[in-house]
Amino acid sequence: MRHYYLTLLLLSLIILPGCALKQNTVPDAAVTEVESQPTALASIAEVLKANDHRPVAERIALYRQLRKEQPEAYNFWNQDELTMYGYGLLWGEKTTEAIEVFKLMVAEFPNTANNYDSLGEAYLANGDEEKALVNYQKALKMDPDNFNAEDIVYRLRHPGFVPETDEEKFAKVYTAAEYSADLDQLAARLLKVHPNALKFISAEDFRSLIEQKKALMTDQTTYAEFRWHCAEIIASVNCSHTSMGRFSLESKMLPTALRFPVQTRLVDGQLFVVDPMGNDDRLAVKDEILSVNDIPVASLLKDIYRRIPSQGYVETTKRHEFNFWGTGMIAYAMNFPQTYEVTVKGKSTSIVLSPAKEIRNHFGNPAIKGCGEPLCYEVLEDGKSAVLTVLSFNFYPWNNLDVFEAFMDKTFRKIAADGIEQLIIDLRYNGGGSSESSIYLLRHLMQKPFTYYSRAEYEGKQKPAAGESVQLPFDTTFQGKLYFLIDGIGNSTTGHFMSLAQKWELGTIIGEELGSNQFCSAGQTVCRLSNTKVLYYVANNTHVSTATSLPDETGILPDHYVSQSIDDYLNEIDTVLEFAIGLTRM
């Protein structure tokens, strides 16, 4: 499959059962011992990764030897892990090694179409178009829905073909019949792939929404308009892992002149100007916009929110997404007006805005400084308090889980040595990642054995996931006071982690409603509509933590609700962190 699709998949929760390999090398005739919790199988991908210093032929031989001699000791059945190990080599420009890994997968799992697709991609990266074509054709024959293989086979057979870009398709129109057929296909695919598609919406309401959208289709409906309609259908499933790729493609294809020409920030239901852009002669920073083209801001946001995916009925996620992509979302919601006219609080007349001449998106929050790395540790001025920032749990056994483990081990040794009594764990902006990294951090915090998952359901599962077995705390765990900082971006595995932190009352939770909870429809299947070729991503598995008494509809709620005012945002004051530090001083 293409690098682009896999990169997007990595943003979702991909649960890969297995345990962490503790050393980076192995003796010539033996395999490094793997530490595992009871009933968990060791990761064969980790064993291969630990032997990356050896020729790939020796690694393949080691795989075959272990499969023959210790078939019950490793998760040989887990194709996902082995696939990602192969792609790690491919992305690291070790193309010939990746080819050998994918050849191994074809031999071990000859009935899996994706393995031929991956081998085809590796051959293509190596410049061998003939072998690439053979394998892509096999993949397509085994799985006629594999649109990636279909596209590449066509391009290899037609070298001069240049595919149409989404930017070129922005104003393109299809027939109403083609749109309607695609909407029916979208509905059917969502219901087929997503294991919990109707958990937060009734079958009747879902079908009604499809029919409403079909009734709006005409021969004049543009591709861009159609995507906006599809976004509402996909978001109605109320799953953060089911989307059209956030709003990045919609933003990319939108002509600059059609964008809302002012950067705004939504705070407590109020829409403030944070960057007038080319309208600084008409608007000032901190002006509050009340309406756009006579549409009240509240009505505009209600329409936009229906198109933004989130877990259950969580709205904090939607607010963050709007703050990221507002200039484009407003344009789509208003069907791309040629001019924008706003009313501003305290001003008697409306203001016609100058068109946008450049694209500016305000991602992130300038008040949250960080250290430039996904994992950070800082001792505060009092010498007895510290902040552990975990921007991501995106550390997997097949890739870099050992980096996460080494960082946490080193950090908690330092915490003990420094006599830290109060620890703030900052999980804001953490979109999730692996269960293994989440469990590893919990083992540094828990005082007694625990079980992470109550349910872990995914295609091809043959053995219990690691999180379904009892996890043992480390011999020395943190004994002081804990504080957790959360926000609406916290997703996926972050929800599992915080649900357990709340269940076991590990510490004080500060911030806003988390964007996730104990229930997660995770993973992703990449799909494409037949006529318009719209790509979308559908969750395909279910993982639930053992905090099952919490409601599935809402995110994890804080003990202290703390929000950043518009003044604090503009002055780059981290309100939430400052509040937490204040608690440590009480």
Instruction: Give the count of domains, the chain.
Output: 3
Residue 543 placed within a domain: no
Decide if 478 contacts 412 (C-beta within 8 A).
yes
Residue 560 and residue 426 share a domain: yes
Q: At what angle do helices 95-108 and 79-91 cross, to 10 degrees?
A: 160
Q: Tell me, what CATH number does 129's domain have? A: 1.25.40.10
| pLDDT on residue 15 | 33
Residues 309 and 457 in one domain: no
CATH classification at residue 398: 3.90.226.10
Asked, for residue 385, whether it belongs to a domain, the answer is yes
306 belongs to a structural domain = yes
Q: Tell whether 84 and 123 lie within a shared domain.
A: yes
| Same structural domain, 397 and 315 | no
Q: How does pLDDT run across 210-247, given as a tens digit for each residue?
A: 999 999 999 999 999 999 999 999 999 999 999 999 89
What would you report as the CA-atom Rg of the chain, rounded to the nearest whole angstrom? Answer: 25
* Boundary (domain end) residue, out of 317, 352, 387: 352
Last residue of a domain, one of 302, 321, 352: 352
Q: Confirm whether 48 is domain-assigned.
A: yes
Q: Does residue 379 sit in the same domain as residue 348?
A: no
The torsion angle over the Cα atoms of residues 560, 274, 364 and 329, rounded to 10 degrees, is 100
Is residue 522, in this structure, part of any structural domain at all? Answer: no
What single DSSP character describes residue 585? T
Q: 560 and 460, same structural domain?
A: yes
Say how far apart CA 250 and CA 359 lie, in whole Å. Answer: 13
**79-91 and 3-10 helices, crossing angle to 10°:** 120
- Is 205 among the domain residues? no
Q: What pTM value is reported for the model?
A: 0.87
pLDDT value at residue 369: 87
Query: Letter for the amino acid at 502?
Result: Q
Cβ–Cβ < 8 Å for 482, 534: no
pLDDT at 312: 96
Q: Report d(CA 433, CA 493) in Å as an integer.
A: 6
Q: Are residues 122 and 7 in the same domain?
A: yes
Q: Which residues of the chain register pLDDT less than 70?
A: 1-40
Whether residue 397 sits in one domain with residue 303: no
Residue 187 within any structural domain of the chain: no
Place of tokens 């705390």: 473
What is the domain range of residue 380? 375-517+554-584
Q: What's residue 42's pLDDT? A: 84
Same domain, 477 and 440: yes
The rounded distance, in Å, linking the Cα atoms of 177 and 49 is 50
Phi/psi for 130 (5° steps) reads -65, -50
Question: Is residue 339 located within the same domain as residue 449?
Answer: no
**Could you tell me if residue 533 is inside a domain?**
no
Q: Do 573 and 473 share a domain, yes or no?
A: yes
Q: Are residues 281 and 419 in the same domain?
A: no
Of 99, 123, 157, at which residue does a domain stop? 157
State phi, psi for 393 to the nearest 5 degrees.
-105, 20
Residue 287 belongs to domain with CATH number? 2.30.42.10
